[in-house]
A and B are shown apart, each in its own frame.
Chain A
Amino acid sequence: MQGGLARQRRRSAWLFLAPVLAVLLAVAGWPLARTLWFSFTDARLDAMAGAGFIGLENYAWLADDPDWWRAVRNTLVFAGISVMLETLLGLVIALVLNARMPGRGALRAAMLIPWAIPTVVSAQMWGWMLHDQYGVVNALLLGAGLITEPWAWTANPNLALGAVIAVDVWKSTPFMALLLLAALQMLPGELHEAAEIDGLGPVGRFFRITLPLIWPALMVAVIFRSLDALRVFDLMYVLTGNSSATASVSVYARQQLVDFQDVGFGSAAATGVVLLVAAVTALLLVFGRVRLGEAAGR
């Protein structure tokens, strides 16, 4: 196309982009900058305008608060274990669904159910199933003789984080499985036939051929899930309230911000959440050997 026409196109491109950029700057960029600013002030929820600058004081308090570090630990344990389990289980389910067999469509449809259910609803559903007195999980385990007395899954601090992880694994494994299934279905069938002729067994074929080929897709799925898991809020909030045994960094930050009305300190915690997420993502990108360009399409 000629230069004049191309220039006109570029100008109209910016015109088309302007509304979106304006909206994103208003609802994402500006609030993010304000949060960062609040983290250096003593702002309160009822007096946000008259906030005074107090430097790094909020961050010093944050670093001194054992509850914050507990929340960091909870978040990392939650994200690490649940994403790992979801990846392994998701891979198994994807391999099963990839096999040619009757009822595959129905099973794939069933997989979408946990994904579509709102997190709040799945937390409530599991909260009821894990109820210490009337829960079906305790009833089944008691009936099978695996436990001798009912366990308080969500109230016992030693079990609660495990319960939260179990709910997340139930809810998010299907998502993982569907993404991995899509990657598996893009592999050419001839590869496996050639390997079979060369005498490679099913296990060898999986580790030598399938896994390396779906690795980029797998890592992208892992990064997506990890980002999601690191900002988890509703699951803990609904299943166990603000209990410090399970509180994630997001729960902690919101509690400071809204319940204790301490916007300055809460914003510092929120900034801490961003730093934590950024650090973990960077580590995943380095150790997963993913190039950002690849992950971001083309």
Chain B
Amino acid sequence: MRARRLLFRAGFALLLALILVYTVFPFYWAIVSSLKGGSALFSASLWPARPEWGNYAAVFREQPFGRNILNSVVVAGSVVTLSLVLGVAAAYALGRVQFRGRSTLLVAILGVSMFPQVAVLSGLFELIRALGLYNNLAGLTLSYLIFTLPFTIWVLTTFLRELPVELEEAAVMDGATPFVVLTRIFLPLLGPAMATTGLLAFIAAWNEFLFALTFTLTDDMRTVPVAIALISGASSFELPWGRIMAASVIVTVPLILLVLVFQRRIVSGLTAGAVKG
């Protein structure tokens, strides 16, 4: 009995270790590879014998990678701001006011986030070109609202709905306008929910690829994912893998830190968005 339990525990620990290695190893390998210079890159040693930073310097030397990072920050930042401002207003209406067609509207908004992005590609291309926003970060910001807005509205609506009626009743009786109720009473309470949705929207915008690839043309307008996907070497047969890995590590480390710091919040946001909605 005792031996069996011990065996069970050992098996369990092994399973845990296996899961851990499986999830973490690819990123570890990217870090190791990015630190290998010259021919060391082509050996499968699990540790860089002599770590070198050459690949990291090359990423910024060979292409406007600093500019690409800035582009991504600007786009993701403005997408988050816009989604939160528009989303809070909509969520207040959808979460706190009874009106006909409310649930239809909610389902329709959720539906927007469901349909494949390629379905709007040609229409959006036409729109962006008509607005003069082709190869422009504003065009990307606009197009990213398609997937960040529905999600933001959905989570904030769910959150607002759970708050008790008494909160606003007194203020409404005193003649406060809906704008005052929203900004003075609900906004302070919405802090955590907004942080969560903002974070998720930021990650979604930071990672987006299809629109960024299609709506930008020049190297200095690209966002990080497109820049990394299009890194190429002297010939098409020799991809500079060390540089690609270095770029991958550079854009992923801040993301991982963000995720680890806000772990709990992200998990609760994901489940609010998916399990409940």
What residues of chain A have their CB less than 8 Å away from a CB belonging to chain B? Answer: 1, 5-6, 9-10, 12-14, 16-17, 19-20, 23-24, 26-28, 30-35, 38, 43, 45, 48, 93, 96, 99, 101, 103, 107-126, 128-129, 131, 133-134, 136, 139-140, 170, 174-175, 178-179, 182-183, 217, 220-221, 224, 227, 230-231, 233-234, 237-238, 249-250, 253-254, 257-258, 263, 266-267, 270-271, 273-274, 277, 281, 292, 296-297
Indicate if the CB atoms of A121 and B275 lie closer than 8 Å: no
- Given the known interface contacts A16-B92, A30-B123, A136-B29, the answer about A113 and B259 at a Cβ–Cβ threshold of 8 Å is yes
Cα–Cα distance between A5 and B97 once the two chains are bound (Å): 11
Contacts of B245 on A, CB cut-off 8 Å?
124-125, 128
Contact of B24 among A26, A110, A119, A263 (CB under 8 A): A110
Indicate if the CB atoms of A27 and B275 lie closer than 8 Å: no
Contacts of A254 on B, CB cut-off 8 Å?
118, 121, 210, 214
Indicate if the CB atoms of B12 and A101 lie closer than 8 Å: yes
Indicate if the CB atoms of A128 and B251 lie closer than 8 Å: no
Indicate if the CB atoms of A233 and B172 lie closer than 8 Å: no
Indicate if the CB atoms of B116 and A107 lie closer than 8 Å: no
> Count of chain B residues with Cβ under 8 Å from any Cβ of A?
93
Question: Total A-B pairs in contact (CB under 8 Å)?
Answer: 280
What residues of chain B have their CB less than 8 Å away from a CB belonging to chain A? Answer: 12, 15-16, 19-20, 22-24, 26-27, 29-30, 33, 41-42, 44, 86-87, 89-90, 92-94, 97-99, 103, 105-107, 109-110, 112, 114-127, 129, 142-143, 145-146, 149-150, 153, 158, 172, 177-179, 182, 203, 206-207, 209-210, 213-214, 224-226, 228-229, 241, 244-245, 248, 251-252, 255-256, 258-260, 263, 266-267, 270-271, 274-277
> Looking at chain A's contact residues, is the secondary structure mostly helix, strand, loop, or mixed?
helix
Ranked 4 nearest A-B pairs via Cβ = A31-B123, A34-B123, A231-B116, A139-B44
Contact of B119 among A101, A270, A281 (CB under 8 A): A270
Contacts of A13 on B, CB cut-off 8 Å?
92-93, 97, 99, 178
Cα–Cα distance between A99 and B177 once the two chains are bound (Å): 50
Contact of B87 among A1, A20, A43 (CB under 8 A): A20
- Given the known interface contacts A124-B244, A124-B248, the answer about A273 and B116 at a Cβ–Cβ threshold of 8 Å is yes
> Looking at chain B's contact residues, is the secondary structure mostly helix, strand, loop, or mixed?
helix
- Min CB distance B271 to A, Å, is 4
Contacts of A297 on B, CB cut-off 8 Å?
106, 158, 276-277
Contacts of A178 on B, CB cut-off 8 Å?
267, 270-271
Indicate if the CB atoms of A12 and B122 lie closer than 8 Å: no
Indicate if the CB atoms of B30 and A9 lie closer than 8 Å: no
